[in-house]
Amino acid sequence: MKYVLALDQGTTSSRSLIFDSEGHIVSTAQQEFNQYFPQSGWVEHDALEIYDTQLKTLRQAVDGVDVSEIGAIGITNQRETVVVWDRNTGEPIHKAIVWQDRRTADFCEDLKEKGLFNTIREKTGLPIDAYFSATKVHWLLQNVSGALERAEKGELLLGTIDTWLIWKMTGGKSHLTDMTNASRTMLFNIKTLKWDDELLQIFGIPKSMLPEVVASSSPFGSYELDGYQIPISGVAGDQQAALFGQGCLEKGDAKNTYGTGCFLLMNQGQDFALSDHGLVTTLACSLDEKPVYAFEGSVFVAGAAIQWLRDGLEIIETAGETQSLAESVDTDDVVLVPAFVGLGTPYWDMYARGAVFGLSRDTGRAHFAKAALQAIAFQTRDITEAMIKDGGLKPETLKVDGGATANEYLMQFQSDIMDMEILRARNAETTALGAAFLAGLQVGFWSIVDVSKLSSQGISYTPKMQEGKRNELYGNWSKAVSRTLGWLKN
């Protein structure tokens, strides 16, 4: 065995990457697929197209590699997106409903009015929201002609994207998911580690549709490639895979991914806890049947604020330019709150809207660039503050990855404003690497010591800001945020 193959099935593209034993990328391939927006707020994918593009990239990635030397396949995927298909024909009954889809928002409001918020949160760790899979499955069964009847007869199967890919790749032999993906469905009881009968009843979902749930590093079946049976032996949702790929294996270890938005996850070990500060409780990757919990916080607009400067305001040409612009400004007078779609953790305010404070006659585009980068860092600190309040743990180091971590100004400011070491991953592909680690561990390609070692290398940023300055800047941010909350209501 020389390699592990990772399939990274994302929201806009399918990718395949081959890693060697040092965790280096040997080859990669990527293909975008169609996004369907049949109505305002609805987002769908064609599950067959997802499978097709995934396999095409797999083929491209293994081109030039001796297939007999691939020891295992790991899968990581966009989370919460759900497919329902016919167990005999393999035909999806409808397009996949994507995590971004809001069609079930009203149904979620009804559930809250029925007083189910706490019941669901205590079992699943999740707030009732259209984001998670359960209400999407409910919608499919209620709205696709004959679906509920067929489901009750045991003719239909459901799965998140990992489950769908595994089922297809094993020729229908394996109908499985891992705990991280199960924990995002709002049907899985993350304390008992079982599908929850009461929740299945609330959402009207027959149990026969559900995949079996196993640990993230487990035998999921095998995929036949050029006559070789390659084990599929690691599976995790994208954010949990990144947590694992960053080597956040111990309680208190945390990572933040800076993309369009930010996802910050902190390993909470084997202690189940609910947050009082707007964090979601979720399952992290586990190597055996024992659960590993994590707190998760999200920022809706992070790198997207930089896109807005580029494509909306048209005051920059490239995202990378914000670094030198930010460095050219000595003052910190301008504060941007990019609450373009409301605010996530810890505020959870859908009615907040964006604002810019502290403008003066000499404010220019460089101030906007600096304020946008600082806003990413402030929002990240907001999440870690919530985690510290809930769990009492302040991580010594925040491990980071994602497109915007290329920005050195952002990384240094992040360290300064949190008074914490920031460790940027050596390998930018931490999500795929996490899936590869899970798969490789299962087949003995790597040991857990290897995983710690291979994930711990990176570039470190340490705090340089005086405490008084840090408190002043974060205080200004908090003041600015408070003025945007509830904007649409007042």
Q: What residue ranges bind ligand ADP (CB under 6 A)? A: 259-260, 303-304, 306-307, 319-320, 322, 402-404, 406-407
| Cβ–Cβ under 8 Å, residues 343 and 478 | no
- Indicate the residue type of 18: I
Nearer to ligand ADP, 78 or 183 (CB): 78
CB contact set of 90 (below 8 Å; sequence gap of 6+): 167, 168, 172
Q: Is 48 exposed, middle or buried (0-12, 13-18, 19+ CB in 10 A)?
A: middle
| Cβ–Cβ under 8 Å, residues 61 and 29 | yes
Nearer to ligand ADP, 188 or 413 (CB): 413
Nearer to ligand ADP, 239 or 476 (CB): 239
Nearer to ligand ADP, 403 or 486 (CB): 403
DSSP string of 90-112, one letter each residue: --BSSPEEPTT--TTHHHHHHHH
Looking at residue 406, the DSSP 8-state letter turns out to be G
The candidate with the shortest Cα–Cα distance to 342, out of 105, 13, 120, is 105
| Cβ–Cβ under 8 Å, residues 258 and 460 | no
Least distance in Å: CB of 260 to ligand ADP?
4
| Cβ–Cβ under 8 Å, residues 382 and 264 | no
Least distance in Å: CB of 478 to ligand ADP?
23
Neighbours of 12 (CB within 10 A): 12
Least distance in Å: CB of 393 to ligand ADP?
26
Nearer to ligand ADP, 409 or 445 (CB): 409
Least distance in Å: CB of 107 to ligand ADP?
28
Least distance in Å: CB of 60 to ligand ADP?
20
Nearer to ligand ADP, 57 or 407 (CB): 407
Query: Measured at CB, which residue is nearest to ligand ADP?
Result: 403
Nearer to ligand ADP, 303 or 458 (CB): 303
Least distance in Å: CB of 404 to ligand ADP?
4
Least distance in Å: CB of 141 to ligand ADP?
31
Distance CA 254, CA 69 (A): 33
